[in-house]
């Protein structure tokens, strides 16, 4: 049995990144970035390259393309407790176009994410309008996606519509729709406010064909047994955030944000972030930030059910558990002006490192077998995330 925690279930974040830098009065700058990313923690290593290219065509159009690869090597607690470590790749490509007309920016794009057992296609449309002497920018976005889920077993890929000898046919779909509205407001010559609100809805097969929940079973030596998880066929959620950026003397900036999330699965989550940016001379920029995250569990989540089929819906995915996490981020960036090639105006070298600490409040470490079922210590994980990237403006 394989686990696939690296599934790209939610694309809008990436979609927003393509348009997030946008002002509605000028097209985004022409630039390219090449990035290497590395995640290590909880028995999982994910690394790979990413490339982003953006170029204007004429005065009103800007095109962008992003390639992203995840090379995953997983021996996470979920994998090790029920299966064996495995390796996998996920490839994502984003295509985007922006069209500027007077003070309105229209953006559209397509995102594709492919991994052995999960294919995702998403299309998005966004309109940004600047008002009041460009002090206010509002934007409306719509995203629609569809996912095709299959199952990989013992290295044989059971694709949609096919069946490998002796293995059952498995094919499932999920659809997503997302509506977003945002406002950015210049408050003073030194202060910016950003507000965002999003509603999204998914329907279809929303869980994992590999993952299981556990229930008390006195007939086994370890005291529990597994059964496959069962999720509702729909999920609707709201997210609202506010972000403030403040320019400080000595060429530095402070930023703070809060996001609230709630969904029909009973999850309530809050994200708090505080960041500081300091420049040194004309070439160096340093960033530091702290993120604190807390979430309540889904109402059909339990680390250990009392008996099989205890509820209509059953989940033991630690993503839906009750937990809090703290992340510290440090980054440094060096700007340079290469004399060759001539079409490159400036470049930057960037390094960014995060330390993430997740403490679960109702997910237990089943690998600690010296404890009785339900009394194992709560699981926690530390992770280190690193990014190194080079950017060019032309």
Partner 1 sequence: MSRRFRCGLAAGALATAMLLGGCQVQPWVKPYEREHLADPIMSFDRDPISSSYLEHVFEVREGSHGASGSVGGGCGCN
Partner 2 sequence: MKSASRLVTMMGALLGLGISALPAGALAADIAPGAQAPTFQLNSSLGKPVSLADLKGQVVLINFWASWCGPCRQEMPILDQLYRSYQPAGFTLIGVNVEPNAADAQKFLKTTPVSFPILFDPTSAVSMLYQVSGMPSTIIVDRTGKIRYVHHGYKPGDEGEYLNQIRALTQE
Binding-site ranges for partner 2 (CB under 8 A) = 26, 29, 59, 132-133, 136, 138, 181, 183, 195, 197, 199, 236, 238, 240, 262
Q: Is 213 in the site for partner 1 (CB under 8 A)?
A: no
Q: Is 62 in the site for partner 1 (CB under 8 A)?
A: no
Q: Is 37 in the site for partner 1 (CB under 8 A)?
A: yes
Q: Please choose which of partner 1, partner 2, none residue 14 contacts, taking the beta carbon within 5 to 8 angstroms, the exact cut-off set by kind.
A: partner 1
CA 394 – CA 377 distance, rounded (Å):
54
SS3 string of the chain?
Answer: CCCCCCCCCCCHHHHHHHHCCCCCCCCCCCEEEEEEEEEEECCEEEEEEEEEEEEEECCCEEEEEEEEEEEEEECCHHHHHHCCCEEEEEEEEEEEEEEEECCEEEEEEEEEEEECCEEEEEEEEEEEEEECCCCEEEEEEEEEEEEEECEEECCEEECCCCCCCCCCCCCEEEEEEEEEEEEEEEEECCEEEEEEEEEEEEEECCCCCCCEEEEECCCCCCCEEEEECECCCEEEEEEEEEEEEEEECCCEEEEEEEEEEEECCCCEEEEEEEEEEEEECCCEEEEEEEEEEEECCCCCECCCECCCCCCCCEECCHHHCCEEEEEEEEEEEEEECCCCCCCCCEEEEEEEEEEEEEEEEEEECCCCCCCCCCCCCEEEEEEEEEEEEEEEEC
CB of 196 to partner 2, least distance (A): 10
Q: Is 261 in the site for partner 1 (CB under 8 A)?
A: yes
Please work out, in degrees rounded to the nearest 5, the angle formed at the alpha carbon of residue 326 by the alpha carbons of 325 and 330: 145
Cβ nearer to partner 1, comparing 113 with 212: 113
Q: Please choose which of partner 2, partner 1, none residue 202 contacts, taking the beta carbon within 5 to 8 angstroms, the exact cut-off set by kind.
A: none
Cβ nearer to partner 1, comparing 72 with 304: 72
Cβ nearer to partner 2, comparing 20 with 195: 195
CB of 148 to partner 2, least distance (A): 28
Cβ nearer to partner 1, comparing 205 with 308: 205
CB of 349 to partner 2, least distance (A): 21
CB of 59 to partner 1, least distance (A): 10
Q: What is the largest CA-CA distance in the chain?
A: 74
Cβ nearer to partner 2, comparing 183 with 353: 183
Stretch 128-147 residues interacting with partner 1 (CB under 8 A)? 128-140
Q: Is 25 in the site for partner 1 (CB under 8 A)?
A: yes
CB of 127 to partner 2, least distance (A): 16
Among 3, 120, 295, 302, binds partner 1 (CB under 8 A): 295
Q: Is 245 in the site for partner 1 (CB under 8 A)?
A: yes
CB of 168 to partner 1, least distance (A): 27
CB of 241 to partner 1, least distance (A): 4
Q: Please choose which of partner 1, partner 2, none residue 180 contacts, taking the beta carbon within 5 to 8 angstroms, the exact cut-off set by kind.
A: partner 1
CA dihedral 161, 163, 168, 169 (to 10 degrees): 0
CB 88 within 8 A of CB 76: no
Stretch 366-385 residues interacting with partner 1 (CB under 8 A)? 385
CA 275 – CA 206 distance, rounded (Å):
34
CB of 199 to partner 2, least distance (A): 6
Cβ nearer to partner 2, comparing 1 with 253: 253
Q: Is 237 in the site for partner 1 (CB under 8 A)?
A: yes
Cβ nearer to partner 2, comparing 262 with 308: 262
Cβ nearer to partner 1, comparing 32 with 159: 32
CB of 17 to partner 1, least distance (A): 3
Cβ nearer to partner 1, comparing 113 with 150: 113
Q: Please choose which of partner 1, partner 2, none residue 59 contacts, taking the beta carbon within 5 to 8 angstroms, the exact cut-off set by kind.
A: partner 2
Q: Is 166 exposed, middle or buried (0-12, 13-18, 19+ CB in 10 A)?
A: exposed
């Amino acid at each position: 049995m394989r686990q696939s925690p690296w599934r790209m279930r939610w694309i809008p974040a990436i979609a927003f990144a393509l348009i997030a830098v946008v002002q509605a009065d000028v097209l985004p700058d022409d630039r390219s970035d090449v990035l290497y990313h590395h995640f290590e923690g909880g028995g999982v290593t994910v690394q790979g390259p990413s490339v982003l290219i953006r170029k204007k065509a004429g005065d009103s159009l800007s095109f962008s393309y992003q390639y992203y690869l995840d090379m995953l090597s997983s021996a996470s607690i979920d994998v090790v407790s029920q299966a064996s470590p495995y390796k996998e790749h996920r490839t994502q490509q984003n295509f985007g176009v922006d069209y500027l007309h007077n003070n309105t920016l229209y953006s559209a794009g397509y995102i594709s994410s492919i991994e052995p057992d999960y294919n995702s296609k998403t299309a998005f449309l966004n309109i940004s309008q600047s008002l009041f002497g460009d002090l206010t920018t509002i934007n409306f976005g719509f995203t629609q996606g569809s996912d095709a889920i299959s199952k990989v077993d013992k290295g044989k890929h059971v694709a949609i519509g096919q069946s490998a000898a002796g293995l059952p046919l498995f094919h499932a779909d999920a659809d997503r729709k997302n509506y977003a509205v945002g406002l950015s407001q210049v408050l003073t010559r030194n202060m910016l406010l950003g507000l965002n609100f999003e509603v999204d809805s998914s329907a279809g097969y929303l869980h994992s064909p590999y993952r299981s929940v556990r229930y008390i079973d006195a007939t086994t030596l370890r005291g529990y047994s597994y059964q496959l998880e069962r999720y509702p066929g729909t999920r609707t959620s709201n997210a609202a955030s506010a972000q403030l950026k403040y320019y400080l003397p000595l060429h530095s900036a402070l930023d703070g944000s809060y996001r609230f999330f709630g969904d029909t699965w009973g999850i309530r989550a809050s994200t708090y972030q505080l960041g500081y940016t300091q420049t040194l001379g004309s070439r160096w920029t340093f960033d530091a930030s702290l993120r604190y995250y807390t979430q309540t569990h889904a109402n059909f989540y339990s680390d250990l059910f009392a008996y099989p089929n205890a509820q209509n819906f059953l989940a033991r995915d630690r993503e839906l558990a009750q937990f809090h996490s703290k992340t510290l981020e440090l980054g440094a960036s060096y700007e340079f002006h290469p004399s060759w090639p001539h079409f490159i105006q400036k470049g930057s070298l960037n390094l960014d490192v995060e330390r993430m600490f997740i403490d679960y409040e109702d997910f237990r470490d089943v690998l600690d077998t010296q404890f009785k079922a339900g009394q194992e210590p709560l699981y926690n994980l530390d992770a280190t995330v690193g990014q190194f990237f080079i950017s060019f403006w032309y």
